[in-house]
């Protein structure tokens, strides 16, 4: 019995010795080459903060509006419906922001017409005298690209075309302005 116990201790000591030897050898080995990224990787596209904004083009009359990729100004997409009370509450504030920050921010109003009635949306635009371009997402495809779920939904996109933030629901004018200032650096 003592011979078995002695043999087990010898095997255990040998295993510990080999483990220490392996660790010592590994720490003395030359470091392996590591790849260095020379430029920042492009963020993936998707309707999430930190990702490139999904690209789209909407035509309204003679004017064509494009979102996606780098541009001179930051962009705020405002998805709304005429029947939405919070959308009605924020419309005057969006007008003020559109005028105040017009040199650094483009605001695009996007009526999700697939969930609205276009004549009602047109009356909404006239009633609130919206001072920014308004487009009609007739089939809701743009709203879907941005994972739209509630009204209003505001998407803040920086000059590099990367989504900074997605705001679900209405914010106070002060909070919205803070976010615009952070986005534009104004």
Domain range summary for the chain, segments of one domain joined by +: 1-28, 56-184
- What's the CATH class of domain 56-184? alpha beta
Query: What's residue 50's pLDDT?
Result: 85
- Spans of the chain, pLDDT less than 50: 29-43
Task: List CB contacts of 146: < 8 A, sequence separation 6 or more.
Answer: 47, 54, 77, 79, 153, 155, 166
Query: What's residue 36's pLDDT?
Result: 35
Query: What's residue 81's pLDDT?
Result: 97
């Amino acid at each position: 019995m003592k011979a078995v116990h002695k043999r087990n201790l010898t095997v255990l000591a040998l295993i510990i010795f080999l483990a220490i030897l392996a660790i010592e050898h590994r720490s003395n080995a030359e470091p392996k080459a590591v790849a260095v990224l020379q430029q920042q990787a492009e963020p993936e596209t998707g309707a999430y903060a930190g990702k490139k904004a999904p690209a789209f083009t909407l035509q309204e009359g003679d004017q064509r509006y494009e979102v996606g990729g780098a541009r001179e100004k930051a962009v705020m997409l405002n998805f709304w419906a005429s029947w939405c009370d919070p959308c009605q509450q924020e419309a005057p504030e969006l007008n003020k922001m559109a005028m105040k920050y017009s040199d650094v921010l483009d605001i695009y109003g996007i009526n999700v017409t697939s969930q609205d009635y276009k004549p009602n949306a047109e009356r909404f635009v006239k009633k609130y005298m919206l001072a920014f371009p308004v487009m009609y997402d007739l089939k809701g495809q743009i709203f879907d690209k941005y994972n739209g779920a509630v009204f209003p939904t505001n998407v803040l996109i920086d000059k590099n075309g990367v989504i900074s933030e997605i705001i679900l629901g209405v914010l106070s004018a002060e909070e919205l302005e803070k976010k615009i200032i952070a986005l534009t650096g104004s």
